[in-house]
Structure formats: C-alpha cells, structure tokens
C-alpha cells in the first residue's frame, strides 16, 4: 500500500519536473514568449522545488507506516491469583519484571509475557 503511495508521489514529482523543463524550453526557444522568460524561469524553478519537496516529504511519509508493522503487547500476571492484563509494550518492559501489588489480591504482579502481533494491512 505504501509502495503505491510512494510511486504516486514519484509520478507527481516527475510530472512537475517535466512541466518545469517545458517552461524552461518555452522561455528559451519560443520567441513571442521571450518577454516573459524571467517569469517562466521563476515558474519553472518553483515547479522544480515543489517536485523535490513532494518527492522528499511524500517518500518520507509513505515510509513511516512500514516501520511499525507489528504491535508489541505486554501481558501482566499475578503470582497469587489469576489476574491477567494486557497493555501496549513500553520501553523497559521485560519478562518477570515486578510491577508491585496486584489489583485484585495482595500478591505481586509481574510481566508474564511479551509478544508481537502483526498489524493488519
Ligand atoms: Zn493477584
């Protein structure tokens, strides 16, 4: 999905670049337009900059979802009862890490498991 988005940004970028070159060519070689050559050059440059911007930012934004293709879940359990809770993994979580008193009983709760779930595309 993100690859499609990326290629769409690439196509827009190429189209803008082609438009910029067309403006440059018109400004240089078409005599009736030579009076506007400066404006056409500026417009062409603006198109070029826009195309780079779209390619750069579009490509970066399209890559972002690929970094997190899975959801990491931390399972919390208790030594004294059958308490079980799942939450999103946070930095510093490790298996058997003690988390203090259980919410249901006086026993100690701890991290029982950490696992990753692939995100649906
Ligand atoms: Zn408990």
Residues 51 and 108 both lie in one domain: no
Calculate how far, in angstroms, residue 92's C-alpha sits from the geometric centre of ligand 1: 22
Distance in Å, CA 91 to ligand 1 centroid: 24
Q: Is there a single domain that holds both residue 103 and residue 77? A: yes
Number of domains in the chain: 2
In angstroms, what is the span from residue 43 Cα to ligand 1's centroid?
69
Q: How far is the CA of 53 from the centre of ligand 1 (A)?
A: 55
- Of the residues 42, 67, 92, which one is the last residue of a structural domain? 67
Q: What is the pLDDT of residue 2?
A: 58
Task: State mean pLDDT over 78-94.
Answer: 95
For residue 93, pLDDT beyond 80? yes
Q: How far is the CA of 95 from the centre of ligand 1 (A)?
A: 17
20-58 pLDDT tens trace? 888 888 777 777 766 777 787 888 889 888 888 877 877
Contact predicate 68/80, CB 8 Å: no
Note the pTM of the prediction, 2 decimals. Answer: 0.44
Nearest-CA neighbor of 55 among 15, 12, 4? 12
* Confidence at 102, pLDDT banded by 50, 70, 90: very high
Pair 25, 55 in one domain: yes
Q: Which domain holds residue 110?
A: 70-118
């Amino acid at each position: 999905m993100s690859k499609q988005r990326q290629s769409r940004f690439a196509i827009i970028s190429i189209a803008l670049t082609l438009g910029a070159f067309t403006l440059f060519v018109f400004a240089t070689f078409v005599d009736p337009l030579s009076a506007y050559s400066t404006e056409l050059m500026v417009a062409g440059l603006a198109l070029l900059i826009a195309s780079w911007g779209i390619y750069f930012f579009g490509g970066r934004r399209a890559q972002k979802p690929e970094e997190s293709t899975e959801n990491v879940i931390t399972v919390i359990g208790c030594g004294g009862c059958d308490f079980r809770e799942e939450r999103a993994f946070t930095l510093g979580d490790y298996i058997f890490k003690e988390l203090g008193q259980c919410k249901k009983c006086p026993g100690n709760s701890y991290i029982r498991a950490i696992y990753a779930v692939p995100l649906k595309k």
